[in-house]
Amino acid sequence: MRNHILTALLIFAILLSGCMRGTTDVAEPPEVQEPVINTPVAEPAPVNKENNQNDELLNGLNHNLYSGIEMSADVLPRAAIHPGSTVPVTVVISNTGDKTVVYTHGSGSADTPEAMHVRIPGLQPILPKDWLGAVTADFQSKELKPGETLNFTTFVRAIEPHASFNEYTHSRFTEQGTYIGDVEWEELQSLHTGLTAAAAGSFTGHAFFRYYVLDEGDEMDLTREAEGYASTEFTITIDETVNDNNDTEAEA
């Protein structure tokens, strides 16, 4: 009898313990997941190769470091500029201040200094003829003194920019002795089918001149690099009419 009572009490204790756990256990709330927000990632800006070229040549230089340099760049007068034709651009650089500036000229056999170059997005500048072929090794820097003026004519082809155009320019001059700016557009396109005539419209370019200022008492130093640059703007407007006779050839 006693054993039955103990057994009954044990069963009762087990049941009571289970009931107590059932009343004290609190169900954990379901895990709340935060909403996923798709944040748009900004795409990198497109790379402008022509601007990169400008950066390489003008990197670290101060624009208008010396206020005495004045520049102009003008397209020579003509009736019309046709797609594919060659356009002369006259660049004038004057020292109207009271200090001398020094610029990199390059080979003594060249007329156009390395310190001057043009860029015109959408069109193809042509290397100066005097930079091509055999050149002398007498690397030079030159002075532009107060009151002095430099005049140069550079050329732009009315075609879309092409990565191999400078290579074509060098090889044609070396192999045939002719300047690519003098070649008629139809002939040039037949030889280099990847070249494309520019569409009609207006294109704005810039001419740049790199230099350093020669302070009083200083002497010209061939190892000293340019510290500033001047620039000027010009516009080439291409006519809609296709050029059949290449009447805008570069001047010899």
Confidence of residue 50 (pLDDT cuts 50, 70, 90): very low
In the chain, the amino acid numbered 89 is V
Residue closest to 64 by CA, chosen among 231, 236, 224: 231
196-221 per-position pLDDT tens digit: 999 999 999 999 999 999 988 888 88
Provide the pairing of β-strand 116-119 with 201-214.
antiparallel
Q: What domains can you pick out in the chain, each with its CATH number? A: 49-238 (2.60.40.10)
Helix H or strand E segment including 150: strand 149-157
155-193 per-position pLDDT tens digit: 999 999 999 999 999 999 999 999 999 999 999 999 999
